[in-house]
Amino acid sequence: MIYRAIGVMSGSSLDGLDIAFVEFHENGGKWQFEILHADCKAYTQEWKAKLENAITLPALEYQLLHADYGHYIGQQVNAFIEQNALQYKVAVIGSHGHTTFHLPERGMTGQIGDGAAIAAETDLPVVSDLRAMDVALGGQGAPIVPVGEKLLFSDDRYFLNLGGIANLSIKEAGSDYKAFDICAANRVLNMLAGELGKEYDTDGDWARSGNVNNVLLQELNGLDYYNQPAPKSLANDFGTGTVYPIIKKHAGSVEDQLRTYVEHIVQQVDKALSMDPAYHRETYSLLVTGGGALNRFLMERMENQLSAKVVVPDENLVQFKEAMIMALIAVLRWREENTVLSSVTGARRDSAGGAMWLGNVS
């Protein structure tokens, strides 16, 4: 079977809305994919502020933003379809939305971006609310990307995504996967770069010029989250509300803070990989995607520190892997197949998550 789908992803780094049009081939349970078109629709300062401040809104305003953002996503998808002449080629849209609240220990996770509004704008079937079923089953609701790694990258063992939050997937014996959020990543690095007047630290050059503050590094590494067993996941405000204030209470230049936080990410990735008994015994590849994979200094530090072989794929896959897997999740939901792995999230069972909005069926 051949499926052509659009995946939409808004990460915690708030750099923009990732949209990917992907062709999937399924034959006897074996999947292949090709990202045919992809783009990142940068947020305006207005939209960035709306998303950043969503968790502070009263209930009514939050729900209005949920609807407005859904219409915005639908409009951006329509522009993407027009730009790439994809009319009548898209079977389904998978939209992750933008995570606001994430409290799986209390049975709740929240992603704004109303799927009904997206379907109304595009007249296409939409799958949204991708994490809710897993959380209802007692899971973390995160990460959800491993189902795509299992089906599309079956030859690899380690997968690291460096977005606003860094998360790791480990393929274990058989077909089981362990995956969890490691630490805040680009969200914190970008906040620090913003103090120097840029949206991000290009190639990690500012971090490269700084020095490690060992006192700060020790305090960051001592955060309770890092000693919790998997499955576990982080809310977006871990970086903004916990990590960033710790960094700013320490004296030193922003360059030193960037350098120290790069070292913190590398050490936490190394610690997370060490959960796998095979990590130091055998050499496996670590497939690195997400915006952080384009940070040359961060990648150099990982290559020097980690036992795994660091592999950065082509830029299209680096930037749009998560959006591509949102498209796959929509296809799996359409096929009524599982989209979230309980071995990853700790839920009672695997589940076919996602609300489906059919758009125009006439």
Q: pLDDT tens digits, residue range 128-179?
A: 999 999 999 999 998 899 899 989 987 778 999 999 899 999 987 656 788 8
Residue 14, pLDDT > 90, answer no
Residue with tokens 């959960």: 275
Q: For residue 62, what are the CA distances in angstroms to 14, 57, 68?
A: 18, 5, 10
Averaged pLDDT for residues 275-302: 92
What CATH number labels 155-317? Answer: 3.30.420.40
Phi/psi-derived region of residue 16, left when phi > 0, alpha when psi is between -120 and 50, beta in every other case: left
CATH class of 2-145+321-357: alpha beta
Q: Quick one: pLDDT band at residue 362, thresholds 50, 70, 90?
A: low
Which pLDDT score is estimated for 175? 61
Name which of 123, 120, 90 is nearest 19 in CA terms: 90
DSSP characters over 174-223: TT-EEEEEEEE-HHHHHHHHHTTTSSS-GGGHHHHHS---HHHHHHHHT-
What's this model's pTM, rounded to 2 decimal places? 0.88
Residue 3, token pair as written in the block: 């499926």
Averaged pLDDT for residues 335-344: 93
Residue 231, pLDDT > 80, answer yes
Averaged pLDDT for residues 182-201: 95
Q: Quick one: pLDDT band at residue 15, thresholds 50, 70, 90?
A: confident
Q: Quick one: pLDDT band at residue 289, thresholds 50, 70, 90?
A: very high
List of residues 6+ apart from 61 with CB closer than 8 A: none
Report the range of poorest mean pLDDT among 64-68, 111-115, 263-267, 274-278. Answer: 274-278
Residue 340 per-residue DSSP state: B
- Percentage with pLDDT > 70 across the chain: 99
Residue with tokens 């947020």: 43
Averaged pLDDT for residues 254-278: 96
Which pLDDT score is estimated for 173? 61
Domain ranges of the chain: 2-145+321-357, 155-317
Could you give the CA distance from residue 320 to residue 122 in angstroms, rounded to a whole number?
21
Q: For the chain, state the CA radius of gyration.
A: 20
Residue 107 CB neighbour total at 10 angstroms: 12
Residue with tokens 């700060």: 216
Residue 343, pLDDT > 90, answer no
Averaged pLDDT for residues 177-188: 92
Residue 44, token pair as written in the block: 């305006």
Taking all residues of the chain, what is their mean pLDDT, rounded to a whole number? 94
Name which of 299, 72, 284 is nearest 207 in CA terms: 299
Which pLDDT score is estimated for 174? 58
Cis-peptide into 104, omega within 30 deg: no
Contact 287, 167 (CB under 8 A): no
Q: For residue 267, what are the CA distances in angstroms to 140, 143, 192, 354?
A: 24, 20, 19, 35
Domains 2-145+321-357 and 155-317 agree in fold: yes
Residue 290, token pair as written in the block: 């997400």
Residue 12, token pair as written in the block: 């915690």
